[in-house]
Amino acid sequence: MEKISILVPCCNVEKYVGECLESIKKQTYTNLEVICIDDGSKDSTGIILDKYVALDNRFRVIHKPNTGYGDSMNKGLESCTGDYIGIVESDDWVEPEMFETMLRAAKENDLDLVRCCWYEGPTATERINDQSWVKKNKVFCPLDREDTFFQQPSIWVSLYRRDLLEEGRKIRFLPTPGASYQDTSFAFKVYTKSKRFMMLDKPLHHYRINPNSSVMSTGKVYCIVDEWEEMKRWICEDVVLCKKFSETSLFAKVCYGGAIWNYERLSTHVTKLLFLRRASRFFREAKAAGIFNLFEYSHSLEGKTILSVMSSPLDYHRNRISERLVFMAKYGDDAVLPASAQEDMISVVMTCYNTSKYIYSSLMSVVRQSYKNIEIICVDDCSLDDTKMVVRHLMRKDSRIVWCSTEKNSGLSASRNLGIGHCRGKYILFVDGDDCLLPNAIADLYAAMSEDDSLVNASAVVYYEGGETRYGSLVEGDKKYYKIKEDKCINALSDIDEACKVHVSAWGKLWRLSVIRDNGILFPEGLLYEDACFFWKYLCVAPQMRLLTKPVCLYQRHLVGSIMSDTFGKKSGFAIQHILILDDIFRFVQKKHLEVIGRTVLGHLYEPFFWFAVNHSPECDFDSLLDNMCRILAEQQADTSASPVLDYVTHYKETSKGKLFIDAYHEGRTMQVDNQDTVRYRELYRLSKKLRKYRKLTKVFAATSALLLMLLLIGMMI
């Protein structure tokens, strides 16, 4: 019976390592040896490992001084006695059948290497990564299929035949202390040596995307180049490999992916340029060695990028920071309003926090506006990168730019509120430090503003970092959400259904500064989703809004690292704040003695805000979410008679802590139903969605629906 050695490298992971080891302990395949390598942990990690060793003789632990990931893994490999080797990172966990499934595939197909798909996200459950371009459940040699090399290294989703790593040239990690990404060259060497490889279509591993992980550090500038150097050495020491790579563009393609990833990851212009210069030198050296040939690849965008970095790293960097300006040029016609039409000063408040990657193009998009009578107030929230350096550079060229900074990092709301205090214009326009204005944005907004209007709200263009294909269904949602369908003027209070359809972002709008200051309208400090809060407070006192179909703003969509990406990733504690801003709106209308108006506005916000929070929250937040929604509805004396779900939430504390609602919400899941109330609330959820969908229909229809719902519930209870 084959033995599997499982390596678990550990360093200061007391928060996660227990869950990791439990998942290994519960494997359906039991002939295991589990070698935990404690790399000088300073927390209780070592104690936890020792406990597992004492309770299960399959576990061993190597305690060692901190020498880095690569050295730890090499010591683990030297200690293995199994026929196959697996790796599980100490902050991840695995499915019970993972190693049994992979070993079966390896034996049945005589594989050197077998990989599986995996789950990933902040809690390692959010989405499946299947490396879709790689053939599944088929045996092939990686060198015969280049796309194998374009996978994430992800050494922890593989089962390796031990002889593959030990026979001939041993495959080991780079033992570079303090470095990261050592899996890059390790995976590359494994692929070049494997003759029989298969990728399974099953996700069996849970990879936790940890923002505090050392691999997220933007200070590690050259680590990826060190890995390239090891890959180059591996190729050049083997005559067969050297010939293979001299005849293809494979090595250039592999390095391109790593180069772009590392460039985007680095946070300052200085580190980006340092990396590009080192990469440029490496590319030239690899080309001289005969293994970095572009061939037909040079005609592609990727090949041209490699050539640009090789020839002039500085020019490549300049082009990258300006590329969004080039993208926006197609939206401008260089029209300039006559001076007589530009008599009103407009204040542009640009907020910045660690935006050095974007701030140049963002600020230049404002500086180059066709409407010239503006002041540009840059508010920095104590950035740690070189945002200030870039802004200061542009300030020397344009006297309209003003710089101010918060005393401590306080969030977006505090920055905008500080900016409002510095404004001198008649109107105000907000721009985030990673977004841009289209060339005639201010002119278009100003021209649309009449004396009767209090707000002009325009469409926006979304710019997807890394390309649209990485954002899935978000793209279609963005196209609907950020597009105004018709040029018209509405009163947000009398036509609130229409007002609820437009995007609430603070940017992309022209606001009257007098309305903001006279009514003390501020962004809620300490809360997320501050735009929605500010938007509805403003409309409570100044509801006349003009809608403009023409786009005026380029909104930068991020895959990770933004409030919205964390929200869509269901990060705990985020989406729940979307209902907490209802408190701030309520306090505002109370202070302004606008209770009647407030009830009209809030009555239309309770349910959509609630559903936004539910749909984007992890289950662990549901109790708190329902507690707070129940409290808000009670304190604000909300009328929930037209909403079955909100009516249920008002009685939430009378039920068993939301279990019925959670079961109802997850109606699509397979589950045992042995409680009549569960069935009732499942139906309630389904019908409430229909009510929301058809809310715009007549009151007669709503009344009829409510009656039908009542009859249905009575019938089900009988």
The mean pLDDT of the chain is 86
| pLDDT in the model for residue 688 | 44
Q: 301-311 and 269-288 helices cross at what angle (nearest 10)?
A: 100
**218-221 contacts: CB < 8 A, separation 24 or more?**
218/265, 218/266, 218/267, 218/268, 218/271, 219/271, 220/179, 220/180, 220/181, 221/266, 221/271, 221/274, 221/275, 221/278
Residue 427 confidence class, pLDDT cut points 50, 70, 90: very high
User: Is 689 or 52 the better-scoring residue by pLDDT?
Assistant: 52
Per the structure block, which two tokens stand in for 440?
């005639």
Select, from the ranges 100-114, 253-267, 451-465, the one with the highest average predicted confidence (pLDDT). Answer: 100-114
Question: What helix, strand, coil percent values describe the chain, rounded to 5?
Answer: 50, 15, 35
Q: pLDDT band at 696, cuts 50/70/90?
A: very low
Single-letter amino acid, residue 283: F
Given a cut of 70, is residue 544 above it in pLDDT? yes
pLDDT-derived band at 179, boundaries 50, 70, 90: low
Asked if the model's pLDDT at residue 143 lies above 50, the reply is yes
Distances (CA, A) of 252 to 97, 152, 183: 38, 16, 18
Q: What is the pLDDT of residues 570-600, one digit of tens each?
A: 888 889 999 999 999 999 999 999 988 988 8
pLDDT for res 624: 87
If you average pLDDT over residues 21-34, what whole number do you get? Answer: 96
Q: Decide which of 566 and 115 is more confident.
A: 115
Query: Can you spell out the DSSP letters for 246-310?
Result: HTSSHHHHHHHHHHHHHHHH--SHHHHHHHHHHHHHHHHHHHHTT----GGGGGSHHHHHHHHHH
Residue with tokens 């002041």: 375
Which comes out higher in pLDDT, residue 175 or 28? Answer: 28
Tell me what the mean pLDDT of segment 230-240 comes to. 95
The domain ranges of the chain are 4-216, 218-311, 327-568, 620-717
Say what the pLDDT of residue 517 is. Answer: 96
Structure confidence at residue 193 (pLDDT) = 96
- In the predicted structure, residue 649 carries a pLDDT above the cut 60: yes
- What's residue 212's pLDDT? 52
| Of 71-85, 333-347, 364-378, minimum mean pLDDT range | 333-347
| pLDDT per residue as tens digits for the range 203-213 | 999 999 765 55
Determine the pLDDT at residue 166. 95
Mean pLDDT of 693-701: 46
| pLDDT at site 669 | 35
Q: Residue 55 in contact with residue 133, Cβ under 8 Å?
A: no
What would the two tokens of residue 687 be? 């019908």
**Residue 547 phi, psi dihedral angles, 5° rounding:** -100, 135
Most confident of the following: 113-122, 208-217, 650-659: 113-122
Q: Is residue 653's pLDDT more than 70? A: no
Say if residue 339's pLDDT is above 60: no
H-helix segments, 437-512: 441-448, 474-481, 496-499
**pTM for this predicted structure:** 0.60
pLDDT above 70 coverage of the chain, percent: 87
CA-closest candidate to residue 279, choices 238, 229, 225: 225
pLDDT attached to residue 270: 80
The architecture CATH gives domain 4-216: Alpha-Beta Complex (3.90)
pLDDT of residue 673: 38
Residue-level pLDDT at 157: 96
Q: Cite the DSSP H helix spans in 503-652.
A: 513-518, 530-541, 563-568, 577-591, 595-615, 622-635, 644-650
Q: What is the pLDDT of residue 675?
A: 44
Residue type, 285: E
Burial grade of 126 (CB within 10 A; 0-12, 13-18, 19 or more): middle
pLDDT number for residue 677: 43
Q: How big is the chain by its Cα radius of gyration, in Å?
A: 29
Domains 4-216 and 327-568 share a fold: yes
Confidence at 296, pLDDT banded by 50, 70, 90:
confident
**Which CATH architecture does the domain made up of 327-568 adopt?**
Alpha-Beta Complex (3.90)
Structure tokens at 303: 């090949």
Question: Between these two residues, 237 and 652, which has the higher pLDDT value?
Answer: 237
In this predicted structure, the answer to whether residue 466 has a pLDDT above a threshold of 60 is yes
Higher pLDDT, 48 or 177: 48
